[in-house]
Structure 1
């Protein structure tokens, strides 16, 4: 499952807008990614296209090109959506893992590397209180990915 960052797509879209229209266009884009289902989001994208295609013809094709990577977003519970609409929490976890590997030269076994990743994730979880709704999302991940989520 691949999910791209909604915020990056919105920022990319706003690069095509004039400054005076940015707030209106951003509000209309929000209707797309805040839709409860993928079908309703696609309907909102069509409505956005009808409204803005004449003035900003490049925005909708960008969303349509990224649509397959955006659809998984609509399958998640709202608690998870609050975290993954921007990939900051995931990028933060990746940063913690990279930082822990950077300070070590090499590993004698794959198990040693796995242990380091495990410890880095545990440290991130303890500091995860800084991420809004992190524990609610963890509960949802445990339900959705039961076979991959180890208590």
Structure 2
């Protein structure tokens, strides 16, 4: 069965037996068993928490097996071998999950799924950025995580996430551009911005169509709703300084 067919039918194939697994049926059986045993769906000891723990630990064990070159219990083909586990709590989209991370004897194992010294999965960064973009303060985001996920996230962690993205955005905003864009579009979107108080702010998006027919956002500039000649001179001067030499058609 092809991957597209598998996705459409809502089934997946067991890589060991080759049998088709009905995901809906599996979910229903898991929910029924959890209900029978009095296990909640969410929360520290909930079904989703346990499933996430099992998936992460299985993936980590598979990574270590590939790193060592032998399965658990097999005779090592090199001096390095398994050396127990260490407990680690990672913050996920369903809350904190405590997992056991396998270790190797010489300490050369570098997990990819849950990297060393990393205590939150990438999805958490997206949640923080989404909440920040909606105007929530650092304190409000911290309170949101504690209320919704039962997880304590420090203000320092929230600030580091937003600062990292701010740095990446600054780098993107100053990147070199192509010398020629056959078509240039300028449009505006209105976003709520917290600046002492929440207010509607227009952001002007300049998008260019390359000579290969691809669309590329060249930059985004914040305005105040009363943009004049000086504002647009600044925008187009910046585009020129970043490498744009000619535009054939412009559309506002």
Flag the structure with higher strand content.
2
Flag the structure with higher helix content.
1
Q: TM-score of the superposition, structure 1-length normalised?
A: 0.29
Q: TM-score of the superposition, structure 2-length normalised?
A: 0.20
Return the index of the structure with the highest Cα Rg.
2
